[in-house]
Amino acid sequence: MPASDYHVSLFIVYLMQNECSASKIDEVIYSVGFAHRIAGFVNPCSSGLVVQVAEAAKRQLSRPSNKKEPITAEILSKLVEKFGVSSNLYDIRIVTMCLIGYAGFMRFSELVNIRSCDVQFHVTHVSIFIEKSKTDKYRKGSNVIISKTK
């Protein structure tokens, strides 16, 4: 101790080559800086070299986001054709949850918390009471209306 900015940069490059996570690199930088401040030495992690090497390592280790394809009406039709006519109650329940979630723009957490007392059938639509929702600021609940189709 004290470490030079060159040696800290070399250690960050070593971590990058071993494919450590970006949070691990942050952890090393904060730990080395903390140890130097406690001991009364100059923080080598505040130098331009270490900052640039750390940013490059984080950029190199980042993974592109892998977005899923949205579900379409064709996919739902295939689900109904394959599992909707099944005598297995589990299959029918899953297909029904997919259809209700799609038609009502519901999240999974909203779907799994639906109880039978929350569903009301009407001539032209079905009303489903959602007690808790991620977007319900005041936690009052809301009704989702799903219109009858052909």
Q: pLDDT (tens digit, 9 = 90+) per residue, 115-132?
A: 999 999 999 999 999 988
Q: Does 20 fall in a domain? A: yes
Same domain, 79 and 143: yes
Residue 125 has what pLDDT?
A: 95
Say what the pTM is. Answer: 0.57
Residue 93 belongs to what domain range? 73-147
Residue 141 has what pLDDT?
A: 84
Q: Does 134 fall in a domain? A: yes
What is the distance between the alpha carbons of residues 27 and 50, in angstroms, rounded to a whole number?
14
Amino acid sitting at position 121: F
Is residue 99 a contact partner of residue 76, using CB atoms and an 8 Å limit? Answer: yes
Is residue 33 a contact partner of residue 47, using CB atoms and an 8 Å limit? Answer: no
The DSSP output letter for 46 is: G
Residue 137 has what pLDDT?
A: 79
Where the chain has pLDDT below 70, the residues are none
Q: Does 66 fall in a domain? A: no
- The dihedral of CA 119, 120, 126, 127: what is its sign? negative
Same domain, 90 and 31: no
Mean pLDDT of the chain: 91
Q: Does 67 fall in a domain? A: no
Same domain, 42 and 79: no
Q: Does 45 fall in a domain? A: yes
Same domain, 87 and 45: no
Residue 54 has what pLDDT?
A: 94
Is residue 132 a contact partner of residue 141, using CB atoms and an 8 Å limit? Answer: yes
If DSSP codes are grouped into helix, strand and coil, which group holds residue 33?
helix
Same domain, 89 and 139: yes
Same domain, 77 and 143: yes
Burial class (CB in 10 A: 0-12, 13-18, 19+), 66: exposed
| Number of independent structural domains in the chain | 2
